[in-house]
């Protein structure tokens, strides 16, 4: 039985495109984006029909030194408003809050007093109870919420079933399938999507997908999961993001058939801001070291160190990973 939702020419009204350029891309430069860069990205996203723009993290200033990071590590209300004002656009504003790395009871205003629309709660599967506590609190404040369960490729089916049961009984709006290690292939991404969608549809929740590009499959996995019922799609301009990066926004804008999406403003932003960012030496994107960690279903931290050390001894690095598998 074909469980695909629509076809290549379909326009699905449930599909939402979320730009995570500042948040995931901020992991490449400690969130040191200029105000001009963020403002122009905001305007480009609005013109392109992007549904959500994730500005960064809502991290605790008690845990992280504000002198070591740009403002989008913390997403203070006044900084957000300096970019978006009252956000008189159809695009919604999102931030991410990591379980254990934020002061959510102190740092979030009631929704009526904030320009933020959605809070994306990120956790590992063993942190689901803590994530739900955050979600319920933020729901009471009036925010849309998602739960982004990271590193799902290392969880067992029983763990995933248990997590989905807990989340489906919570007030969360969107449950995210997150390929943190870029280790999924379209086939097993589809299997996981089916599990998520079947659980979520029974209680009226939506599913999202966040891909990493360790094996050059971020776009392929994103459109494959989309075809099996994922509604919320994460992407970044030119795929900027931690390590191998993410699914590229421009690929999805060129693929989705909804006429509300427009590629031209993103292309102009790439020309004026992303190319110079690359030329400044900010590093992201597919490389062999990330392919290795993706194939071995490993956290990319060793590959990231390999990259920062400017190493090129791929064979030695590959052998060292084999020894640790």
* Per-residue pLDDT at 2: 55
What pLDDT score was predicted for residue 1? 47
118-123 vs 144-149, strand pairing mode: parallel
Looking at the whole model, is its pTM more than 0.85? yes
Residues 82 and 35: beta-carbon distance below 8 Å: yes
Count CA within 13 A, CB hemisphere, residue 86: 2
Rounded distance between C-alpha atoms, residue 102 and residue 137, angstroms: 13
C-alpha distances in Å from residue 209, one per residue of 15, 24, 174, 176: 11, 14, 10, 5
pLDDT per residue of the chain (325 residues) written in tens, 0 to 9: 458 998 888 899 999 999 999 999 999 999 999 999 999 999 999 999 999 999 999 999 999 999 999 999 999 999 999 999 999 999 999 999 999 999 999 999 999 999 999 999 999 999 999 999 999 999 999 999 999 999 999 999 999 999 999 999 999 999 999 999 999 999 999 999 999 999 999 999 999 999 999 999 999 999 999 999 999 999 999 999 999 999 999 999 999 999 999 999 999 999 999 999 999 999 999 999 999 999 999 999 999 999 999 999 999 999 999 987 7
**What does the pLDDT read at residue 307?**
96
CA distance 315 to 321: 10
- pLDDT at residue 6 in the model: 86
**Per-residue confidence (pLDDT) for residue 325, from 0 to 100:** 73
- Give the 3-state secondary structure of residue 287: coil
pLDDT at 323: 83
Could you give the residue ranges of the DSSP H alpha helices within the chain? 21-29, 35-48, 77-84, 104-107, 128-141, 157-168, 186-201, 218-227, 249-255, 264-269, 275-279, 288-295, 301-308, 314-324
């Amino acid at each position: 039985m074909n469980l695909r939702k629509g076809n290549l020419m379909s326009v699905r009204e449930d599909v939402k495109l979320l730009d995570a350029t500042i948040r995931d891309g901020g992991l490449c430069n400690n969130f040191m984006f200029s105000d001009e860069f963020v403002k122009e990205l905001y305007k480009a996203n609005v013109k392109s029909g992007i549904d959500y723009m994730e500005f960064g993290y809502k991290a605790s200033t008690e845990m992280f030194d504000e002198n070591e990071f740009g403002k989008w590590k913390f997403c203070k209300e006044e900084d957000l408003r300096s970019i978006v004002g009252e956000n008189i656009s159809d695009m919604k504003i999102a931030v991410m809050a990591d379980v254990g790395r934020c002061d959510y009871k102190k740092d979030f205003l009631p929704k009526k007093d904030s320009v933020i629309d959605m809070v994306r709660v990120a956790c590992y599967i063993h942190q689901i109870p803590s994530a739900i506590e955050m979600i319920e609190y933020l729901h009471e404040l009036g925010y849309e919420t998602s739960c982004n369960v990271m590193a799902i490729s290392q969880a067992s089916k029983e763990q995933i079933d248990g997590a989905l049961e807990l989340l489906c009984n919570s007030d969360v709006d969107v449950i995210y399938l997150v390929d943190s290690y870029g280790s999924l292939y379209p086939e097993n991404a589809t299997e996981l999507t089916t599990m998520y969608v079947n659980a979520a549809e029974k209680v009226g929740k939506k599913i999202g997908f966040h891909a990493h590009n360790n094996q050059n499959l971020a776009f392929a996995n994103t459109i494959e999961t989309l075809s099996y019922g994922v509604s919320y799609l994460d992407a970044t301009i030119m795929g900027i993001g931690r390590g191998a990066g993410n699914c590229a926004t421009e690929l999805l804008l060129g693929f989705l058939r909804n006429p509300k999406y427009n590629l031209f403003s993103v292309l102009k932003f790439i020309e004026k801001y992303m190319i110079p960012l690359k030329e400044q030496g900010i590093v992201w994107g597919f490389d062999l070291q990330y392919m290795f960690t993706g194939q071995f279903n490993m956290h990319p931290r060793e590959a990231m160190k390999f990259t920062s050390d400017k190493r090129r001894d791929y064979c030695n690095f590959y052998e060292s990973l084999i020894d640790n598998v």
